Structure 1
C-alpha cells in the first residue's frame, strides 16, 4: 500500500466523451490529484493516464482524433506510460468494433469489439467480476457496475485479466504490460471498484 498518495498525480483524458466527474471524485476520495488533458492540454507522457470513455466506439474515436490526442495517446502507451481505460476507454484499445464498422481503433490490442448476441442490451447494473490469474494484483472477485452493449474480444486471451458472464462469457478486464482496462466502471463500483483503482495506482509507483 502506497502511503504517499497525497503526493500522487495522474492525467485524466477528457475529450468530451467520458464520465470524468465521477472518476475525479473517486480519485479525490483516494487522495489522488488529477489533471485534465485532451482539449487544451497535451498528454505529457510523464504521468499515468486514465481514459474514461463513454458513448459509441465511433464517436469516441472521432473525438479522440479531433482533439489531436490520438497519436499522442498511442505514443505514450507504447513508451510504457501506465494507462487505465474504462468502458469505451477499454474498447478503443482494440482494432475495431461491430458498433462502428470501418472505424479503426488504436490497435494496441489485437482483436475486435463485438455485440452481445443474446439477452437484453445494454447490460445495465451489477455483475460479478472474476480475476483470471493468481498473479493479478486485483486478486479478489467482486461485483462491479456495467453499462454496455458491446464487449472486447482479444485474439490473445492471455491478456484477459478478468471475466464476467452476461448470457455468455466475456472479457471484463484486460492487462497487457503497462495497459490496464475495465469494461465496467470501477469509479461507480463501491469499495470493490475503489480497491481496483487503488491497486492500479499503487502499481504505477
Structure 2
C-alpha cells in the first residue's frame, strides 16, 4: 500500500490586511496545509507564501514592513520559492503606488505604477473576464472563465522587464469601461492576481490548485 501523499505547506502572511480567514480556507480546500502567520521563519520556510491585501496601498506597505514582509518576499524570490499576491497583495509587488496624490514606494519586484482606474464608475466591483497569454500555467483549464474583482486602482501600463534568472513575465489584462489594467501576472516563482481567487468560485479554486501544483 502506498503512503499518504503529503500536502504542500503554505503560509498566509498576516500583516493586518486582507480577507485572511477566507484566503486560508480557500487554500486549504485547494489542497494545502495552511498557517496564518507573521513569523519570518515560518513565512520563509513554507513551500508557498500567500500575500493577501485590501485597502490603501500606503497602509498595506506600512503593515507589510512592520512584519518585515518586504524582506520575506525578496528572500523567498531570491531562492526561487513561490509567492502568490492577491489584490493589493499584487499591487505592492510593483515599484510604486499613487493614491490621492501620495506616492508610496512598493516592493519593486516588478516595474510599474499602481494608479487610479480611468473609468466612470469605481470601484470596479464584480465579475469580469481576463485576457490570458499563451501557455499560462496560472490559468490552465480556466482561460475563458470570469473572476471577482473589487478595486479602484491598478497597473494600467507595464513595460515588460525580465528579472534574472526568471523568464519574461506572462501578463494577463482585463478591460473595464474604456480602461484596461493588469489583472494577473506570473514570473517564475512570483504569481499575483488583482482579482480575488477566494471569491471566484470554481474558477478561483482551480487557479489555487494550479498554483499549488508548482510548489
* TM-score computed with the length of structure 1 as normaliser: 0.89
Cα offset, 1:163, TM superposition: 1.5
SS of corresponding position for 1:203: coil
Deviation at 1:47, TM superposition (A): 2.1
Q: How far apart, CA to CA, are the structure 2 residues paired with 1:33 and 1:71?
A: 23
Q: Does 1:73 pair with 2:76?
A: no
- State the shift of 1:32 in Å: 1.5
Q: What residue number does 2:174 align with? A: 164
SS of 2:93's equivalent in the other structure is coil
Q: After superposition, what is the alpha-carbon deviation per residue over 1:104-149, rounded to whole angstroms, capped at 9, x for unaligned? A: 100010111121122211111111123112x112242211000010
Aligned partners of 1:160 and 1:171 also within 8 Å: no
Deviation string for 1:81-105 (max 9, x for gaps)?
Answer: 1010000111001011122733110
Unaligned runs of 5+ in 2: 162-167
Distance apart, 1:203 and its partner CA? 1.5
**Contact 1:131 1:161 (C-alpha < 8 Å) held by counterparts:** yes
Residue number among 148, 151, 163 corresponding to 2:151 in the alignment: 148
Runs of 4+ in 1 over 6 A off after TM superposition: none
Equivalent pairs counted in the alignment come to 200
Shift of 1:30: 2.0
CA distance in 2, matches of 1:21, 1:12: 9
Q: TM-score, normalised by structure 2?
A: 0.85
